[in-house]
Amino acid sequence: MIVRVHPEGKPSRTFITPLEYFPDTDTTLVEASPYTGRQHQIRVHLFHVEHPIVGDPIYGQDANDAVRFLDREMSSEERFSNTGASRLLLHAHSLEFTYNEIPYHVISKEDFVAQCFDAMKAK
């Protein structure tokens, strides 16, 4: 459960671009583009630079709270209080990949900013 940079860890790179700052919630919408593909890479990198993702119940939380969340011992209200949202506010706006030598670029039509603000409203 402890997340830290380890000299024997695999190298990874994520490009982070701030898009918009929201002073009323002290949050920033960012574009995170992973160059490598490690498990939880975006979450770990943002946590490492002390900017965890709103709603993240694992990275950026006290180790005991993370374990309680994983063991399903944490209430929805406590998760909201600890993380600032009712769910993890990490979304894929677009995906690019090649399959059978055909390149694909899928772009979401969802308004993720509005969804994020809805998830950050107190219950």
pLDDT, tens only, 63-115: 899 999 999 999 999 999 999 999 999 999 999 999 999 999 999 998 888 88
* One-character DSSP codes across 54-96: TT-SSTTS-HHHHHHHHTT-S-HHHHHHHHSSSS-----SEEE
pLDDT in the model for residue 111:
87
Cβ-proximal residues to 11 (8 Å cutoff; 6+ apart), any chain: 36
AA letter at 94: S
Mean pLDDT of 44-63: 92
Q: Delimit the domains of the chain by residue range.
A: 14-119
